[in-house]
Amino acid sequence: MKHERKRPGLLLSLLTIVGIIVILLVGSKNSVPTVILMLINMILLMALCVWGLHIPYKEVELDLLGGLREAIIAPLILICSGLLIASWIQCGTVPMLIYYGLGWMNVKWILVASFLLCAVLCSCIGTSWGTAGTVGIACVSVGVSMGVPLEMMVGAVLSGAIFGDKLSPLSDTTILASSTSEINIFSHVRAMATTAIPTLVLCCVGYYLLGLRYVNLEMNTALIEQVRTALAENFNFSVVLLIPMVLIITLSLCKIPALPTLLTAAFSGSLLAMLVQGDSPSAIFTAMNKGCVFSTGVEMVDTMLSKGGVTSMMSTVATIMVALARVPGYVPSFPPVWDITLEHPPSNVIPLHIMNANNTFLIIINSSVDRGCWPDEL
C-alpha cells in the first residue's frame, strides 16, 4: 500500500529554499561542479522527505528512478552527439566548412561571414562557447587587425554561435528541452526555426550594411591563411564530405527519430574518414570514444578540432541524470529541487538559475509544466 504523502509546511519549505540557496552560493563561490551541488541538494531533499515528511525510503528511491525513466532519451542522444561530432571532425566535414568559410571572408563581408561561419559551425558541433572560443577568435582577430571595432566583431561571432547552438540537434540544451518535454527533437528544431530563420536574415542584412563602412580598410589575411594551410595539409577535401550533413537534414525532414538519425550520420562520417582521409578503424573509433586529438602545428587549429567523443559528454550526461532524478514531495511531477518546496516552480526558478549560471535547471523545471501542452508534430 502506497504511503499517503504529507505536504510540507511553510516553515519547512522556507528552510529548504534557504538551504538550497546557501549550498549553491557557497558551492559556486568555491567553484564546486554543478553536478556535485545537485547531488548535495538531492541528498538534503531525500533526508527531508524521509525524516521530515515521513515518506518511506523505498518510495523516495522509486521516484528517483521514475524521473530518470521518463527522459532517459536525453543522455542517449547526448552520447550519440559526441559520436557524431568526433566522426564529422575526423572525416573532414567540419574542417572543410571552416576552410571554405574562412576563404569567403573579405572586407565588405567580414561581419556577415563571421556571423554565418560561427552559426554553421556551431550547428554542426553543438557548442556555442566552443565555436566562439576557436573559429570565433580567428574571425575577431582578423576583423580587429583590419580596423573593425572589437565590439562589432564579438557581437557577430557570439550572435552566430548562439544562433547555431539554439538550432543544433547536437546542442545539450536543445536535446534536454525536447527530451524532457517529450517532443521529437527535430520537431523542436523546426518550431524554433520559424522565428530563428527570419532573425538570421535580418542579422545578415544588418551586418552587411555595417560592413559597408569598412570597405576601404586593408585586410590582413596572414592568420586566415595560416589556419587554412594547416587544414589543407591535414585533410583531403571533397564534396562527398557533405554527405553526413545531407543525411541528417534529409532524415530529420522525413521525421525519422533522433537516435537513428544521429547514429546514421555519425557512422557515415566514420566511413568517410576511412575512405577519404585514409584513417584506420581503430583511430576512428578511438576518436569517437575519447574525442579527436590533432597536432597540426597551429594551436588555434588544434583547439578547434580537438573535440567530440563520448567521454566529452559524460559531465553533461551526469548533470542531466542527477537533475532528472526527482525526490517525491507534494508536487510529484516536478524535479527534485522544487518537489518539496514550491507549488508553482517556474516563478521561483530564476533566482537559483542566475546564481548557479546553469540553464539545465530552468529547462527541466519548465519542461515539467510544458509537457503535454504541445502536439508531437509541429
- Residue 260 belongs to some domain of the structure: yes
Q: What percent of the chain has pLDDT over 90?
A: 8
Q: How many domains does the chain have?
A: 2
Residues 228-254 have a mean pLDDT of 87
pLDDT digits (tens, 9 = 90+) for 135-191: 787 788 778 877 788 888 889 988 988 888 888 877 777 777 776 666 777 777 888
Same domain for 24 and 168, yes or no, is: no
What does the DSSP 8-state code read for residue 241? G
Asked whether residue 333 falls in the same domain as residue 304, the answer is no
64 within a domain of the structure (yes/no) = no
What average pLDDT does the segment 331-339 reach?
A: 39
* pLDDT tier for residue 7 given thresholds of 50, 70 and 90: low
313, 340, 362: which is the final residue of a domain?
A: 313
Residue with the three cell numbers 554565418 = 116
What is the amino acid identity at position 370? Answer: D
In angstroms, the CA 148 to CA 116 distance is 17
Spatial contact of 103 and 142, defined as CB atoms under 8 Å apart: no
Note the pLDDT of residue 271: 94
Residue 321 forms part of a structural domain: no
Q: What is the mean pLDDT of the chain?
A: 76
292 plus 341 within the same structural domain: no
How does residue 276 score in pLDDT terms, banded at 50, 70 and 90? very high
Q: Are residue 92 and residue 241 in the same domain, yes or no?
A: yes
Residue 68 lies in a domain: no
Contact 169, 183 (CB under 8 A): no
63 occurs within a structural domain: no
Residue 65 lies in a domain: no
Q: What is the extent of the structural domain holding 286? A: 73-313
Q: Are residues 220 and 289 in the same domain?
A: yes
205 part of a folded domain: yes
Q: In this structure, are 122 and 231 located in the same domain?
A: yes
**Within 10 Å of residue 369's Cβ, how many Cβ atoms?**
14
Q: Which of 266, 286, 313 is the last residue of a domain?
A: 313
Provide the pLDDT for residue 345.
39
Q: Which of 13-17, 305-309, 364-368 has the highest mean pLDDT?
A: 305-309
Question: Is residue 271 domain-shared with residue 239, that is, in the same domain?
Answer: yes
Query: Cβ neighbours of residue 178 under 8 Å, at least 6 residues apart?
Result: 184, 185, 187, 188
In the block, cell 561571414 appears at: 113
This prediction has a pTM of: 0.71
Specify the pLDDT at position 359.
Answer: 55
Are residues 142 and 171 both part of a single domain? yes
Q: Give the per-residue pLDDT at 351.
A: 42
Residue 201 is assigned to a structural domain of this protein:
yes
User: Are 165 and 279 in a shared domain?
Assistant: yes
Do 270 and 363 lie in one domain? The reply is no
Q: Residues 48-79, buried b or exposed e (16+ Cβ, 10 A)?
A: bbeebbebeeeebeebbeebbebbebbbebbb
| Residue 296 sits in the same domain as residue 182 | yes
**Are both 222 and 309 inside the same structural domain?**
yes
CB neighbour list of residue 273: distance below 8 Å, 6 or more residues apart: 87, 90, 91, 92, 279, 284
pLDDT at 338 over 60: no
